[in-house]
């Protein structure tokens, strides 16, 4: 387990009785961390089997837009339940008791986007939407730096 994953796991252990969402834009390391956290769940793996082909194609289209983000939020919120002790890693503020926000610098996000051949602009737009969703939720939030 990496140091970062170990620190996140310690934090999650403190909130094991709560419904926790670990949220971050693309390229923040969600999948890497998820693979090292016991009982963690991937929002995409929970959601995409429940989507129609048309829904899946739409929410995966590029460039990312506010409309795509709104559709993804609506679909995820209506089809995924967060359970205590099973943190969900994703890009949507689901119904939960605590949000752990994966915070990343623009410099590191640019580097990771380049490595993954992902759009930095799309990642930043998604990040801004996530930040607005978190603020609008009034849910308790912990910022967890990833780099």
The confidence score (pLDDT) of residue 63 equals 87
Sign of the Cα torsion 97, 88, 90, 44 reads: negative
Higher pLDDT, 64 or 44: 44
Q: What is the pTM of this model?
A: 0.92
3-state secondary structure (DSSP) of residue 118: coil
**Can you give the residue ranges of every domain in the chain?**
3-145
**Would you place residue 112 in the very low, low, confident or very high pLDDT band (cuts 50, 70, 90)?**
very high
ω into 63 cis (within 30 of 0): yes
In this structure, the chain runs to a length of 147
Rounded Cα distance, 16 and 126, in Å:
28
* 69 close to 25: Cβ distance less than 8 angstroms: no
CATH class of residue range 3-145: alpha beta
* 94 close to 82: Cβ distance less than 8 angstroms: yes
């Amino acid at each position: 387990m990496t140091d970062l994953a170990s620190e996140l796991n310690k934090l999650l252990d403190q909130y094991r009785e709560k419904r926790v969402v670990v949220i971050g834009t693309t390229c923040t390391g969600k999948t890497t961390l998820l693979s090292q956290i016991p009982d963690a769940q991937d929002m995409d793996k929970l959601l995409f089997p429940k989507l129609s082909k048309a829904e899946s194609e739409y929410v995966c289209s590029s460039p990312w837009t506010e409309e795509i983000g709104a559709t993804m939020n609506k679909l995820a919120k209506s089809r995924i339940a967060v359970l205590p002790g099973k943190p969900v890693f994703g890009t949507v503020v689901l119904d939960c008791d605590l949000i752990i926000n994966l915070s990343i610098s623009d410099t590191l996000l640019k580097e990771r986007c380049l490595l993954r051949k992902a759009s930095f602009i799309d990642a930043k737009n998604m990040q801004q939407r996530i930040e607005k969703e978190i603020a609008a939720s009034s849910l308790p939030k912990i910022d967890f730096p990833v780099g």
